[in-house]
Amino acid sequence: MRHGFLPATAAAIALSGCPVPAPADLAPRELVADRTLPTGKGPHGIAVAAGVVVQANPAGGTIDLFDAEKETLIKTLTPADLGTLVGGVATASPGLTKATPDGTYALTADPAIPGVRVLKPGEARQVATVDIGPLKPSSRIVWADATTAYLSVTSEGGGVNALKLAWKNGFEAPPEKEPLAITRAGVDKGAGGSIGLGAGFLALANGTDNSVSFVSLAAPAAITSLQLGNNPGPVDIVNPAGRPLLVFGNRNSNTVVVYDLQSRATIATLPVGTTPTDMVARPDGRYVYGTCRGAANVCVIDTVAGKVHGEIRVGLGLADKPASPVHIYHAEGQEGSHQAWVGNDGDASVTIIDMQANRAIAVVKTGAGHHKMAFTPTKAFVSNLTDSTLSVIDRKALY
């Protein structure tokens, strides 16, 4: 198994069967997570807020709160602590967790329950619940500003697939709620999947009719829908050099589309590895990194050139365990540097990519199972769904 960035030509040669060894000094280091903490059953959504790691455990219906610095368990919020959500649903199996922009609160949501919980990790308690019935949270929360979030949702009528939540009176007070139907005309069932926000635009993928729809936040009633591939999934909006671009992956077509939001033109439909699943952008928007779950690599899309810049092999390179990279996160490094952290669900590892050099710098062995991640400037916390553990990785050694 080679690691590191493979330029397009080298990648092509590699695909044709000729070995192209990465230079030794460019090969990623292989490390092991520094510490492992036990969690509740089936840890999934994770965030860091107020110096506390908020680890939601859907299978056990609990939320663990760890001191991020001391790495000790502060408290486990049980179903009794969390209570029922509005509507009388008595369970708590949050899989979606997101910190508020000010880092004081954390939101959790369960795709099966029409509600959102507001936690105040610094006080180790739940402070509010938000009834969003009959809508159910889907897979993403994105922040438009310090107090306004967009949540992708599923619905049975009207095509509602997004919900705007505006906490104008603080996070412990009820937010204003605005359901949005950003779908193709005639679509009745909202299937909010991945959601992208940026440059004044909001975009959502809808795999059920193979469409991606977007609006300008200044004119949310004017919806544009695209059908440019089979089973669109990951969506992002970037703004390199003041040119807003929509970038999304088609999971069944194995392509990534780059679309100009101003000229309303498709710039490129790019073949990538099998099953583009999640994506993250470098903050300047020049490069977008997409995990290819079926191909054990991350494709690097040059949004300005509208082409595939290369692909980065991820994982441990085990013959019997494909890496199966799923989630990818951006994490700020030192002195303005940026990293992409890739969760390799198949071989119990995470790969760290240097977003300046566009190469993998380390592969870290973790616990097993699906991974989600949260970061502090000095540590990374990786949830391990199968093991019911939390891997802790010191980031200082990775800068």
Partner 1 sequence: MGNAPAGALAAPALALAAAAAALFAPPALACSSCGCGLPGSSSDVSSVGGAALLFGGESRWLVQSGISFRDITGSFNERGSWAAKPQGSTLTTVQGNLGLTYYPADGYTVGLQAPFAINRLVGAQWGSQGAVSPVDELDGVTGPRQAGGWGDLNFQASALLYRGSEDLPAVAAWAGLALPTGSAEGDAAAFTGSGVANGLIGLSFLKGYGPLELSASAAYQRPLTRPAGAVASAFYIGQALLGQAQADVEVFAGWKAGVGINGFVGATGVVDSAPTAATLSKLKVVPSLEWRPTPDEGVRAAFGADPTVFPGTNAMTDSTLYLVYFKYL
Binding residues for partner 1, rule: CB under 8 A, are 189, 207-210, 227, 229-231, 250-255, 269, 271, 273-275, 293-296, 320-324, 326, 345-346, 369-370, 385-386
Nearer to partner 1, 89 or 318 (CB): 318
Nearest to 380 by CA among 348, 347, 340: 340
The token pair at 18 is: 């000729």
Least distance CB 61 / partner 1 (angstroms): 17
Nearer to partner 1, 286 or 321 (CB): 321
Nearer to partner 1, 120 or 251 (CB): 251
Peptide bond connecting 134 to the previous residue in cis, omega within 30 degrees of 0: yes
Q: How far apart are CA 217 and CA 229, in angstroms?
A: 25
Nearer to partner 1, 147 or 208 (CB): 208
Nearer to partner 1, 58 or 114 (CB): 58
Q: How far apart are CA 389 and CA 345, in angstroms?
A: 14
Where does 66-131 have alpha helices with state H? Answer: 79-82
Least distance CB 29 / partner 1 (angstroms): 23
Nearest to 88 by CA among 45, 131, 58: 131
Least distance CB 286 / partner 1 (angstroms): 25
**Where do we find the tokens 């990519």?**
353
Nearer to partner 1, 121 or 233 (CB): 233
Least distance CB 305 / partner 1 (angstroms): 19
Q: Dihedral sign, CA of 135, 385, 251, 332?
A: positive
**Where do we find the tokens 């004017």?**
222
The token pair at 171 is: 């996070």
Query: Which of 171-193 are b and which e, b meaning 16 or more Cβ less than 10 Å from the residue's Cβ?
Result: beeebeeebbbbbbeebebbbbb
Task: Read off φ and ψ for residue 115, nearest 5 degrees.
Answer: -165, 165
Nearest to 137 by CA among 121, 158, 160, 119: 160
Nearer to partner 1, 110 or 354 (CB): 110
Q: How far apart are CA 268 and CA 256, in angstroms?
A: 8
Let me know the angle formed at the C-alpha of 162 by 158 and 164, rounded to the nearest 5 degrees.
120
Nearer to partner 1, 8 or 86 (CB): 8
The token pair at 213 is: 């729809």
Least distance CB 296 / partner 1 (angstroms): 5
Least distance CB 251 / partner 1 (angstroms): 7
Least distance CB 313 / partner 1 (angstroms): 11
Nearer to partner 1, 93 or 129 (CB): 93
Find residue 118's DSSP bridge partners.
107, 128
Nearer to partner 1, 19 or 336 (CB): 19
Least distance CB 271 / partner 1 (angstroms): 5
AA letter at 210: N
Beta-sheet strand order (sheet of 373-375): 35-38, 389-394, 379-384, 373-375
Least distance CB 169 / partner 1 (angstroms): 37
Q: How far apart are CA 36 and CA 26, in angstroms?
A: 28
Least distance CB 359 / partner 1 (angstroms): 21
